Structure 1
Amino acid sequence: MGFITVQDSKTKIFIAGDSTAQTYNEERDGLIKGWGQMLDCYLNENIEVVNHAIGGRSTNSFIAEGRWDKLLSEVKPGDYVFIQFGHNDASTRPERHTSYEEYEVNLKRMVEDVREKDAHPVLLTSLVMRTFVNGHLTDNRLKGYPAITRKVAKEEEVSLIDVNLKSRDFITMLGDEASKPYYRWVEPGVDPKKPDGLQDDTHMMEKGAKKVAQFVAEGIAELKSGLSENITLIK
């Protein structure tokens, strides 16, 4: 007779995504953090996060490299799969770029694959890039990909967490200077992996990654699903 361990009895949140969500090792990667590694801060002990997000991947490359199939092989009925892409789909690099049509097809395929496992797909729009012009947030580098994510969520009746809207509103409220500490803006000598300093408006430091994880947790709570009761936002 087999035994069910505590870990096996937990509901799992799998994350498919890019560098903005991935888990980093400070010794290897420096002070960069992804929201996926901070999500535990807002979840109780009944939930386990399994983070498959990896830098530089679009829906096309995540699927082509077998990463999506590997994630699916671990999913059990009742689990949740959070799907967040767009940053690299918008890239002009041929190994990353995904046309709008391909992106929509890929998202729909991912949703269908998760449902075939009797699990729950959740679509997330991409984190806003911190691009200010004359004091105004004008990020347009994500192009139409967040809108397509919203479209697929509506058409396929999939739960949606609009990280793009939540982060856009937050960064707009903060303004140019006050929003810099949330992203990977570091002075020389602060980050051992970036000794000359860095001004990165795409990726986040711990402060920013934790804030985005909070947005995701708030989104989970707003879904009013079985997962919602496991949110602990007082942190």
Structure 2
Amino acid sequence: MGIARSLCGLAMCVALAPQVAHAAPVTIHLAGDSTMAEKLPEKRPETGWGEFLAAQFKPGTVTVDNRAKNGRSTRTFIEESRWQALLDATKPDDVVLIQFGHNDESVEKPDRYTPPADYARNLERFVHDVRARGATPVLLTPVARRRFDDAGRLLDSHGEYPAIVRALAARERVALVDLQRRSEAVLQESGADASMRLFLWLAPGANANYPNGVQDNTHFSPGGAQRIAEEFASALRGTDLPLKQSLKP
């Protein structure tokens, strides 16, 4: 009888004990261009840095929803309803990373070009839309292209567009990850020759997707994409975003 009573008491204690709550993974939505996007098989080994984002976090703490797409600017991302689709999937407490600029600045490509004033307005709209959903926007400057002068100095390739992102982040008090400056530092440290391995440089015959070879100074190799994802994680640690608590040590 005493044993039965003890077992019953133990069962009640277990039943009444507070259940340990496991936090649901934070969804990170990615809005951006080819430097961030997941690639089609026929584009490999071209790789977007967003493909290595989840690996920067502790297992089970984040879910990455990568909606970045090759060739898109802020204008075409809106026109093709990609932005609305992202918003429709966004819940309170989600995080939205916003990185555009490569295609917005392409004045020679009218199908995607976005003048600076429109670029600023589109980014501001993105920020306000995300906040209206109860989610957190994060602005990112565009990553650097691999362009060196004859003296081995890295050349700027984005003009006034990164400054627009920085100014908006300051004005709207939005978290900023300055990937332009971080990627520039990586390229300058690597140098003109060694930095080729970070990008899609292949000799003729080295890959079936590029039988004639390729020398691409915009899109990343897998190693380059991983390095940029690591730079993002390093920058995130310097923000006050709660998301940084989920990063791997």
The TM-score with structure 1 as length reference comes to 0.93
Unpaired runs of at least 5, structure 2? 1-22
* 1:28 CA displacement: 2.5
Which residue of the other structure, out of 63, 68, 73, is the alignment partner of 1:53?
68
CA separation in 1, counterparts of 2:142 and 2:155? 12
2:54 alignment counterpart: 40
**Runs ≥4 residues deviating over 6 A:** none
1:138 Cα offset (Å): 3.8
Q: Which amino acid aligns with 1:145?
A: Y
User: SS at the partner of 2:206?
Assistant: coil
Matched, 1:85 2:100: yes
Work out which of the residue numbers 80, 86, 90 in structure 2 matches 1:75: 90
Code of the aligned partner of 2:246: N
Matched, 1:223 2:239: yes
Give 1:70 shift.
0.2
CA contact (8 A) 2:154 2:187 kept: no
Contact 2:99 2:139 in 1 (8 A): yes
CA distance in 1, matches of 2:136, 2:120: 18
| 1:100 to 1:75, Cα distance in 2 relative to 1, 3 A | same
SS of the residue corresponding to residue 124 of structure 2 reads helix
2:181 is aligned to: 165
8 Å CA contact 2:144, 2:157 repeated in 1: no
**TM-score if structure 2 supplies the norm length?**
0.88
Cα drift, residue 187 of structure 1: 1.1
Distance 1:87 1:40 in 2: 23
1:42-97 CA distance string (max 9 Å, x none):
11221011000000010011011100000000000000000000000001211211
Q: Distance in 1 between matches of 2:140 and 2:152?
A: 24
Tell me the amino acid that sits aligned with residue 68 of structure 1: W
For 1:1-235, what aligned pairs fall within 5 Å after superposition? 9-25=24-40, 27-44=41-58, 45-92=60-107, 93-232=109-248
* Structure 1: tracts of 5 or more residues without a match: 1-7
CA contact (8 A) 1:135 1:176 kept: no
Secondary structure of 2:53's counterpart equals helix
CA drift at 1:123: 0.2
- Paired residues of 1:130 and 1:137 also in contact (CA < 8 A): no
Identity of aligned residues (%): 37
**Pairwise CA distance, 1:121:** 0.2
CA distance in 2, matches of 1:197, 1:107: 36
Inter-partner Cα distance in structure 2 for 1:106 and 1:126 = 15
Larger relative contact order (Cα-Cα within 8 Å, sequence gap ≥ 6) = 1
